[in-house]
Structure 1
Amino acid sequence: MMSTYSTLTLQHAAGVATVTLNRPEVRNAFNETSIAELTTVFAALGNDDTVRAIVLAAEGVAFCAGADLNWMQQMAAYSDAENLADAGRLAIMLRTIYLCPKPVVASVQGDCYAGGMGLVAVCDIAVAADHVQFCLSEVKLGLIPATISPYVIKAMGDNAARRYFLTAERFDAADALRIGFVAQSVPATTLDATVAGIVKALVSASPDAVREAKRLVRDIAGAPITDALIADTAERIALVRASTQGREGVQSFLEKRKPAWLA
């Protein structure tokens, strides 16, 4: 199945949806249309039971250059209320991808700047080609990376964010890996195969368990270890053990057969 939008393409096969940014002529910079389309497509994929994993990719030499400068120039003439509404739509797009119940893998084939780093940060797993350059360039334009900051700071940590937010220095895929912004850096020739291997692992696992494991990380990361947290985690595993897929997973392992979700 393939659906085409004006700023992206969507392919869906064998439980894997691939969302590809498709504005290579502007280095996949986003505008109000691409923001709306990304929000719509990820909301739909999150509710599609035939989708087990999502890949976010891009056409051309760049993954995403952030906001379209022509669009930003138009925004300069907006009222405060219009600017706030625009920023709100970007925030909703990022949150929609971040909260998508399906695992999302970013396949970063080219340079990634500013808001493009926000797109990578909201994905669960990011793999970058080793030639890719990253940059949080906002301060060079008199701006700040405000809307993407909750996700970028989670991905790279406070200290790295403090450096790159303030300096707007470029850094390469090796540094992105070192600070934890990407999970893996590989030669460009092996990027597709590496992403395919990760996706294969994702679609081999229980869909319900993957969804709950994603939610578990989001809810537990950074939380203090209190009696309430311990009780919450105990309740989660108890519920999963008693679930249909939880029972099926254990039973299929004991019976040395494939679980029903792989049948």
Structure 2
Amino acid sequence: MSDVLLSWPQPAVACLTLNRPHAGNALDEALLGALHEQLQALAEHPGLRALVLDGAGEHLCTGADLEWMRRSRDFDHARNLEDASLLANVLQRLDDFPVPVLMLARGAVFGGALGLLCCADHVLAAEDARFCFSEARLGLAPALISPYVVRAMGVRQARRYMLSAEVFGTEDALRLQLVHRLVPAAELEQARDRWLATLLQTGPQASREIKQMLARLAGRDHLLDEQGCNLQLIARLRTSSEGQHGLAAFFERSRPDWAQ
């Protein structure tokens, strides 16, 4: 079965579901490749009015897949650049998606999943969801997601949460403008349907034009320029002594040398 499932809850509404519930829908090469392929195909669909992004099972996405991270320890700089481009390409494709994107945040929304979250136009969060920029605990940086996250929550708040790698809840996520509305977990689908009903009252061409207008106002070209630097940064950190030690300590279930 595919790592990303496509369904059509309504004729003009597509839903992409991350489908690795046994692994917390963690991101790996296969899932990112499938997600990019689906986004690319759906972007060309003439009758599409909205896209929903969800996760199967308990979590939206727990971040990077453990086995993928384990394999990356042996990659050289060039291979790490190629590997990191998988997530960078998905983020760009989702951020540029031509119709409104709704994301449902449930369970854990960690690491790279927060980048996906910040590329959505509207985010509904289950009240018990939790969030974390976890990379610094591994001696890494949330480099590829940073342009989208900083655009959403601002540099000041990004400094606190990216540097501390602390877990935070939905009230903080709402305050930080990472999510738009909190609902009980059991009511997430009903809230989704209500938002879609409201959205489908708007002009489809107007929606597409508004997204393009807002991208220009937000300085999309500058954002894309930053990603070249961020790709180099994450590739460098993955092969650094600190990054290698942090990943090794994680897999050995030990404390890295810097942890007090």
Q: Normalising by structure 2, report the TM-score.
A: 0.82
Give the Å deviation of 1:206. Answer: 1.1
Q: Would you say 1:133 and 2:130 are equivalent positions?
A: yes
**Which residue in the other structure is 1:215 paired with?**
212
Q: Write out per-residue CA displacement over residues 176-228 of structure 1, whole angstroms, 9 at most, x where no aligned residue.
A: 001111011111122111111111222221111000111111211379xxxxx
Partner of 1:6: 2
Map 1:1-263 onto structure 2 (within 5 A). Answer: 6-12=2-8, 13-221=10-218
Runs of 4+ in structure 1 displaced over 4 angstroms? none
Taking CA–CA contacts closer than 8 Å with sequence separation of 6 or more, which of the two structures ends up with the larger relative contact order? 2
Deviates more, 1:160-169 or 1:42-51: 42-51
CA distance in 2 between counterparts of 1:157 and 1:198 reads 26
> What's the Cα RMSD here?
1.3
**Paired AA for residue 2 in structure 2:** S
- Is the contact made by 1:202 and 1:210 (CA closer than 8 Å) also made in structure 2? no
- Aligned position for 2:251: none
Q: CA deviation at 1:102?
A: 1.2
Give aligned pairs, total: 219
Contact kept in structure 2, 1:135 and 1:171, CA below 8 Å: yes
Task: Output one character per residue of 1:32-81: Cα deviation in whole Å (capped at 9) or x when no partner.
Answer: 01111111111111110121100000111111011101101101111211
For structure 2, list consecutive stretches of 5 or more residues without a partner in the other structure: 221-260
- Which has more radius of gyration? 1
The Cα offsets for residues 116-140 of structure 1, whole Å up to 9 and x where unpaired, read as 1111111111110011010001000
With structure 1 as the length reference, what TM-score do the two structures score?
0.81
